[in-house]
Structure 1
Amino acid sequence: MKLNNLLLLLTLSVSLVFNSNASDKVEYNLQHDSSFEKTPHISWVKAGQLPIPDDFTESIGISGAYSGFIGDYLIVAGGANFPYGHPFFEQGNKQFYSDIFVFDTRNNTINLVTHGHLPIKAGHGATLVVDNSLYLVGGKNNEQAFDSIIKLTLDSDKHPSTELIDHLPFTWHSGAAAWQAGDLYLFAGVQNGKVNNRVCQYSLANKSCINSEMIPAVPGANRTDFPAISHQGQFYIFGGLNLSADKDNYVLTDTYAFDFKKLKWEVLAPITLDKEPFSVAGGGVAVINNDQLVLLGGVNRAIFNDAILQLTTQKNEALTAFKQHYFNRNEQEINFSRQQIIYHIHQNDWSVLSDKVPFSGGAGPLTITQQGNRIYWISGEIKPVIRTPNIYQGTVLSAQ
């Protein structure tokens, strides 16, 4: 079975983030004291739902959306789902969207204020906050991958407008990106159709990747679908997927930090929970405080490793039987992560909050967007193929 077909079936088609709202322009302004660092707490509420996209009659949720904040306004754009039925049971095709939804997040609520459209139907790209705009970088749909850099701004009435400002020297999706000192950095993902681990420091002025000989590739395997974030001059990459790996190693748990000034990588402690490797592939990451990051969502490592193995090695009746079994499993059996995993930067170790998120786990990829001490968990898969339209808001609280 070809890997592209596998990715379609699992709907964790290589991506990020992304969901990578990584930018040196973001200010978190989180309180810094010892009691807060020892026992952080995140209070979650359901903030609302994604509206119905144009030409459809219901909102079923999306994955792989572009998302970020301009001031107090949360923008969610693009993404994909399966509105025409399950790809295995009903041969439904994946649908990509161009809808842009703009929400006012003041008063701890989300209220839709305007609705627009991207010039393309796409998802699985990266989103960067640059001054008072968003840069939507790369992406893909069913027909093609994109090399575009689209600038999204809001007018005085908060209506979104878009402008194609540049083309990358290659198509790119399913990796992570950062904006640093006026340049765009692209990390790993799928470049011109091939999964890689390269880093491109793209200069919009020069319209090329610069310092290529000075910047080493992301250590370890080529990868996609990894949470990543820019924080205090470092760019952190957590795990991801490598579908060309050996049995039981498709889901990665290694972690790295890139220093933008030194142009060097540091190998960090691998992701663990109860001293066992733990997956955050398909999940997201946010800031707790200067010394702590929180990893949210992700596929179950054992279940997903087995699914990839079976889908790429079984044939005929055995393959059909496995698909029937796998896609019929419920949310609890698929077990996307509800854990809130904490990475301690200075100690270079891991812990977990005592509370799980009070709703279904997510992947697919999950979109995590942050403004100050508020974290937004936006839609995403709750099991392979099936999304939720819900948007949850988590407020980072200091210890009482």
Structure 2
Amino acid sequence: MKLTKLLLLLISSVLLAFNTYATDTNATDHVDYILQHDSSLGKISAISWIKVGQLPNPDSFVTSIGISAAYSGFIGNYLIVAGGANFPNGHPFFEQGKKQFYSDIFVFDTQNDSVNLVAHGHLPIKAGHGATLVVDNSLYLIGGKNNDQAFDSIIKLTLDINNNPTTDVVDHLPFTWHSGAAAWQNGNIYIFAGEQDGMVNNQVCQYSLASKSCVNSEIIPAVPGANRTDFPAIHHQGKFYIFGGLNLLADKDNYVHTDAYAFDFNNQDWTTLAPITFNKQPFSVSGGGAAVMNNDQLVLLGGVNRTIFNEAVFQLSTKTNGALAAFKQQYFSLSEQDINFSRQQMIYHINQNKWSALNNKVPFSGGAGPLTITQRENKIYWISGEIKPVIRTPNIYQGTVMLSN
């Protein structure tokens, strides 16, 4: 039990516990990308990225240093960013800064390729690491956690006639839950893996708002492979895709997963997909996000570096006393380039069950933490997030998906 608690704590100290302000001199550049040539992959889309703004500072703070693990989604043209966490009072190792969670809700008008703040409100809880579902003209915020507790709440967020956010706790899951993924299908909330009641798992709960319980649990198989948290996932064309994730109770060099699966809601079963690879090597998107390029292509953005993260978890879980302090000094002093959060734009080709990558990287810092990726039609929003341990950025970037002819 002591080992379990220590390893779970490492998620906070290595991946999910970071802040500080950073700028990007290339943030306003307009850059287009095409995929590496492979005639078997068919026609390819492109993405054009621009910086469209920054997150405002939360209440009681005069500057914005960015957040990670926020709830986020669209209601009409309005982008909602809520909750999340950072370290406003200094580095957790060098300055003993404590992680802080927020209740702030920011409402942005996203017309004209910008993010203009139009309203500010508050959640009933200070939290992050939950899931966001778009349901009709509202958002459902599922679960989450803060420093003191994990949550079982289902919060419905809507906008009033003046676009001010209103919230209502409409239900409670039969367990606390965070750091997994969720989907809305046929009036039910599906909960995938993550941490339930303090334990990392790979279970699937089809939660019925009508019966207030998990239904069909005897026929829905668990997510294949290991228990996992912090994985990009996306609901697309009747299926739910899960990519990679973390399991801090795995063996050395295997804390970061690169496997991938698709759940068919109609058949209630899983398909194993091609493992995530780049240049024929396993590649991590854990801690990143996912979006849709077109009907046949998904894009995976951000994620921790597999080799660096695996080594960090091993060292932090095996070293003690002076050796542990020396490693933390070295690790937390690494540059953004050395930490190497992913800037690759990884493409999963659904019909061919293949992986590819855009020729060029995103023209700004890579991200994890977990990264918040939100999409509306052909616009992808990369919202704040970590750019290295203990550093976040407040920047918001917009990627426009341009379909090929």
After TM superposition, the score normalised by the length of structure 2 is 0.92
Question: 1:333 & 1:36 partners in 2: Cα distance?
Answer: 33
Question: 1:107 & 1:74 partners in 2: Cα distance?
Answer: 13
Secondary structure at 2:310 match in 1: helix
1:108 equivalent in structure 2:
113
- Among 75, 87, 95, which residue is 2:80 paired with? 75
Further displaced range: 44-53 or 3-12: 3-12
Deviation at 1:39, TM superposition (A): 2.8
1:168 equivalent in structure 2:
173
Deviation at 1:398, TM superposition (A): 2.5
- Among 264, 269, 286, which residue is 1:281 paired with? 286
Matched, 1:61 2:72: no
Matched, 1:48 2:53: yes
Secondary structure at 1:103 match in 2: strand
Matched, 1:373 2:378: yes
**CA deviation string 1:89-124 (max 9, x = no partner):** 000000000000000001111100000000000000
Secondary structure at 1:108 match in 2: coil
1:211 equivalent in structure 2:
216
2:20 equivalent in structure 1:
none
Question: 2:170 & 2:88 partners in 1: Cα distance?
Answer: 32
Change over 3 Å in CA distance of 1:106–1:35 after alignment to 2: farther
Amino acid of the structure 1 residue aligned with 2:277: T
Kept in 2, the 8 Å contact 1:37–1:291? The answer is: no
Question: 2:123 & 2:229 partners in 1: Cα distance?
Answer: 24
1:98 equivalent in structure 2:
103
After TM superposition, the score normalised by the length of structure 1 is 0.93
Matched, 1:5 2:18: no
Unpaired runs of 5+ in structure 1?
A: 14-33
Deviation at 1:36, TM superposition (A): 10
Matched, 1:398 2:403: yes
- Among 139, 144, 150, which residue is 1:139 paired with? 144
Kept in 2, the 8 Å contact 1:35–1:398? The answer is: no
**CA deviation string 1:273-293 (max 9, x = no partner):** 011000000000000000000
Deviation at 1:6, TM superposition (A): 1.5
Task: Provide the aligned length of Structure 1 versus Structure 2.
Answer: 380
Matched, 1:237 2:242: yes
Matched, 1:88 2:88: no
Question: 1:127 & 1:70 partners in 2: Cα distance?
Answer: 12
Question: 2:100 & 2:254 partners in 1: Cα distance?
Answer: 30
Question: 1:399 & 1:185 partners in 2: Cα distance?
Answer: 34
Secondary structure at 2:252 match in 1: coil
Kept in 1, the 8 Å contact 2:15–2:368? The answer is: no
Off by >2 Å, runs of 4+ in structure 1 = 34-39
- Among 251, 259, 262, which residue is 2:267 paired with? 262
Amino acid of the structure 1 residue aligned with 2:172: H
Kept in 2, the 8 Å contact 1:40–1:353? The answer is: no
Kept in 2, the 8 Å contact 1:82–1:95? The answer is: yes
Question: 1:287 & 1:36 partners in 2: Cα distance?
Answer: 16
Kept in 1, the 8 Å contact 2:65–2:393? The answer is: yes
RMSD: 1.3
Unpaired runs of 5+ in structure 2?
A: 18-38
Aligned runs of 1:310-349 on 2, under 5 Å?
A: 310-349=315-354
Query: In percent, how many aligned pairs have the same letter?
Result: 75
